[in-house]
A = this chain, B = another copy of it.
Amino acid sequence: MSGTVTVVGLGPGSDELIVPAVISALNQATDIIGYFRYIERLQNLQNQTLHASDNRQEIERAELALSLASEGKTVVVVSSGDPGVFAMASAVFEALEKNTGYKKNTKIIILPGITAILAASARLGAPIGHDFCVINLSDNLKSRNIVEKRVTAAAQGDFVIAFYNPRSKAREKQLERTFLILKKYCEPSRLVIFADAISTKNEKVIITTLEKADTNLASMKTLVIVGSSSTKEIIGTSYVYTPRYAIEEKN
């Protein structure tokens, strides 16, 4: 008998920002797998078996999901935000690729969610109203060279840039180093935003500039946005937006 693995996104924090398809999947699950902080967010469940695990155990969670599904279970793997943006979806496919035995029988479904950059953008106004890049600053799984190459390219392309996982105890200087690269390409007054726990009671937003930004204010969970050259605050309001039009630079 063949089960399913459904990987879902719980959005940024508020239940009002979880799509109905995800709620249906949770209600129909026999087993729910996830980082314990995300499992804690689930409410009104009935007889589902909950498998909570610690951070950084993505591959173990993915393998458990595929294993339970191969026994015929209806498994849901929970991520915060969107499962496809630096979350559990890729881990499930990595595990699937490593274990060819799973492939034939396991149906995998991904259900999207409101990822941190969309939540932060909505809270601020419209900072990603123009072309943007999304970069994971964690170097657990990639080299610092690749991170630096992408930060440089994003700055050269004058993209709005959203940074996920900007800083951790193991990588205290990662965001600081990133800002040093950006300072080569961006003016000191370039807008920088730190967004935390958007849509929850602990929500916090700091609007500052590249020159003044204190990287110590960011944690692993902070979403950091660096504006493009046309991103601006509307004077007299707390709105930040990037216009849809782009002024051509003189080359």
Contacts and interface: CB of A to CB of B under 8 A. Distances in A.
Interface string A119-151: 101110111111111111000011101100110
Contacts of A121: 82, 84-85, 89, 110, 112
A103 interface: yes
A243 B112 contact: no
A155 B114 CA distance: 26
Interface stretch (A65-73, A92-100, A188-196): A92-100
Interface residues of A, number: 77
A207 interface: no
Contact of A245 (B110, B114, B142): B142
B241 A93 contact: yes
Given A82-B118, A93-B239, A112-B119, A150 B125 contact: no
A11 interface: yes
Interface of A: 11, 14-21, 24, 58, 82-86, 89-94, 96-97, 100, 103, 108, 110-115, 118-119, 121-123, 125-136, 141-143, 145-146, 149-150, 152-154, 156-159, 234, 236-237, 239, 241-246, 248-249, 251
